[in-house]
């Protein structure tokens, strides 16, 4: 693989991946669910994700590998468990990425009205664009996404700064109902979507020029920036009431005098597509890794002149297009796709934390324990939505165990015949 990413480019990738589709949408959803409690949900989630990020960053800097969490789990608990984690990640990306595209199109709706088959056609056209952009490699994407991150931060700072001349638009936080723990947990389960991307960076460790030096700082900087932005956006939603379907657009119009649909809409679309691009790249590299280990056909092992596993990327994008089509035909709810995706990542995060117990120095144990606690808390918050993830894991593990033993017997048979 061609190593082209530096520390600050990596921080841009990390931040924009996490901001992604949710930066101007998820705070609104959590406020609708938990009211004032959404602020506590975001603050707690930001603090609790730090130990998880630190552990992921340390693991990927010591063990840089395209398989990411699957590789960590394999080194700690053996091939079957590692490959199970890798497989459920591969299976959830074609589910989660279309959900991200559907969320992104809420910003498209704010710019111009599109629905029905025309909307599906545009979504599929996005998939085609991701193919041409993705096969160029991550260097260009990293630079673009870093610029996007700085722009989003600037917009949030500008909105808060405008309060000095538009203070009459603000309402007191005391006007909101008291926070309820049960609703905070529900909001946290939804907000967890915003931090899906911490593990995606570990798949890209080989693309860093110096992963042992730059991976951990890049991931920590990215997570810190994102946490602050999400808390700030939630606070704005509580302080500035609006009836706009995309609340951040309404707030922009009220505080800055208009053009909210254009500014927030374009940023939301760009960030959303950047997120899908990173996940597609991560999944393609994991697919190639599995191809090299004979879990998947050797067909996916080939890379193009830029070091991108183009065949794997093509198949992943085709599957994503199929999921988009089926979601449209069956009228699947976006919330279901988000919740099922979150459940799978809870399992991936938990297994990575447990593998760190065996792979990292004991001085990291307090952080690992905090990370495990975070994963358990998210599982409780998601509740029944964890069922899909557990069933998928239970189905994948036996199949991969059988495959491992089948290949071993086949190899022994060949050696005996030789």
CATH code of the domain in which 358 resides: 1.20.1740.10
C-alpha span between 233 and 160 (Å, rounded): 9
Instruction: Name the pTM for this structure.
Output: 0.74
Q: 30 vs 26, 173, 283, 325, 388, CA distance in Å?
A: 6, 16, 29, 28, 23
The tokens describing 65, both together, are 């590998």
Neighbours of 63 (CB within 10 A): 18
Specify if 1 maps to a domain: no
Q: Is residue 231 part of a domain?
A: yes
**What is the widest separation between alpha-carbon atoms in the chain?**
85
Sign of CA dihedral 15, 16, 21, 24: positive
Of 68-82, 131-145, 261-275, 355-369, the range with the lowest mean pLDDT is: 131-145
Structural domain includes residue 417: no
Query: pLDDT tens, 281-292?
Result: 878 887 887 788
Highest mean pLDDT among 84-88, 206-210, 328-332: 84-88
Per-residue burial over 260-272, b = 16 or more CB atoms within 10 Å of its CB, e = otherwise: bbebbbebbbbbb
Q: Is 76's pLDDT higher than 70?
A: yes
The whole-chain average pLDDT of the chain stands at 80
User: Does the pLDDT at position 2 exceed 60?
Assistant: no
Does any domain span residue 296? Answer: yes
Burial of 412 (0-12, 13-18, 19+ CB in 10 A): exposed
Q: Which residue has the tokens 């029944």?
A: 384
Decide: 389 and 346 in contact? Cβ < 8 Å: yes
Lowest-confidence segment of 132-136, 209-213, 347-351 by average pLDDT: 209-213
Which tokens hold the place of 3?
Answer: 């190593």
Query: Do the beta carbons of residue 258 and residue 54 sit within 8 Å?
Result: no
Phi then psi for residue 252, to 5 deg, are -60, -45
Q: Coil, strand, or helix at residue 104? A: helix
| Structural domain containing residue 12 | 7-412
Per-residue pLDDT band at 352 (split at 50, 70, 90): very high
Single out the residue of 315, 361, 367, 294 nearest to residue 53, CA to CA: 367
| pLDDT of 302 over the 60 cut | yes
159 and 252 in contact (C-beta within 8 Å)?
yes
Angle made by CA atoms 175, 178, 180, in degrees to the nearest 5: 150
Q: Is the residue at 418 inside a domain?
A: no
Band (372; pLDDT cuts 50, 70, 90): very high
Q: Is residue 67 part of a domain?
A: yes
Residue 126 lies in a domain: yes
Instruction: Please give the C-alpha separations between residue 269 and each of 74, 155, 248, in angstroms, as whole numbers.
Output: 36, 15, 14
Q: CB–CB of 43/187 below 8 Å?
A: no
CA geometry: angle at 270 spanning 265 and 272, to 5°? 95
Number of domains in the chain: 1
User: d(Cα 83, Cα 76) in Å, to the nearest integer?
Assistant: 12
User: Looking at residue 133, what is its pLDDT?
Assistant: 78
Runs of H (alpha helix) within 246-364: 247-256, 260-292, 310-330, 334-359
**Which of the four pLDDT bands, split at 50, 70 and 90, describes residue 356?**
very high
Please answer whether residues 259 and 252 qualify as being in contact, where contact means their C-beta atoms are separated by less than 8 angstroms.
Answer: yes
26 within a domain of the structure (yes/no): yes
């Amino acid at each position: 693989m061609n190593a082209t990413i530096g520390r600050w480019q990596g921080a841009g990738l990390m931040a924009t991946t996490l901001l992604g589709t949710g930066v101007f949408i998820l705070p609104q959803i959590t406020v609708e669910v938990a009211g004032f409690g959404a602020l506590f949900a975001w603050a707690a989630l930001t603090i609790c994700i730090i130990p998880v990020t630190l552990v992921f960053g340390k693991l990927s800097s010591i063990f840089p590998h395209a398989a990411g969490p699957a590789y960590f789990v394999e080194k700690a608990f053996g091939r079957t468990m590692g490959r199970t984690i890798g497989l459920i990640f591969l299976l959830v990306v074609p589910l989660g990425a279309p959900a991200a595209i559907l969320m992104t199109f809420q910003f498209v709706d704010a710019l111009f009205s599109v629905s029905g088959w025309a909307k599906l056609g545009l979504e599929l056209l996005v998939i085609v664009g991701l193919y041409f952009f993705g096969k160029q490699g991550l260097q260009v994407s990293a630079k673009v996404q870093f610029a996007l991150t700085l722009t989003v931060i600037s917009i949030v700072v500008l909105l808060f700064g405008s309060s000095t001349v538009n203070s009459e638009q603000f309402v007191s936080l005391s006007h909101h109902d008291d926070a309820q723990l049960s609703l905070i947990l529900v909001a946290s389960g939804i907000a967890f979507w915003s931090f899906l991307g911490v593990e995606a960076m570990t798949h890209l460790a080989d693309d860093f020029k110096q992963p042992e030096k730059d991976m951990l700082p890049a991931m920590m900087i990215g997570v810190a920036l994102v946490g602050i932005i999400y808390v700030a956006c939630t606070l704005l939603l509580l302080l500035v009431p609006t009836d706009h379907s995309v609340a951040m657009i309404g707030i922009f119009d009220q505080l800055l005098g208009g053009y909210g649909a254009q500014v927030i809409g374009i940023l939301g679309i760009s960030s959303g597509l950047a997120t899908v691009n990173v996940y597609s790249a991560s999944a393609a590299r994991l697919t190639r890794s599995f191809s090299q280990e004979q879990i998947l056909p050797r067909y996916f092992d080939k890379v193009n002149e830029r070091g991108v596993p183009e065949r794997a990327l093509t198949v992943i994008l085709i599957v994503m297009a199929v999921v988009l089509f089926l979601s449209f035909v069956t009228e699947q709810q976006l919330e279901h796709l988000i919740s099922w995706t979150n459940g799978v990542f809870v399992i991936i995060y938990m297994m990575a934390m447990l593998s760190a117990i065996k792979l990292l120095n004991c001085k990291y144990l307090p952080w690992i324990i905090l990370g495990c606690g975070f994963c358990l808390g998210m599982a409780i918050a998601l509740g029944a939505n964890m069922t899909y993830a557990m069933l998928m894991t239970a189905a994948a593990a036996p199949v991969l165990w059988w495959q491992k033993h089948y290949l071993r017997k086949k190899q022994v048979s060949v050696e005996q015949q030789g």
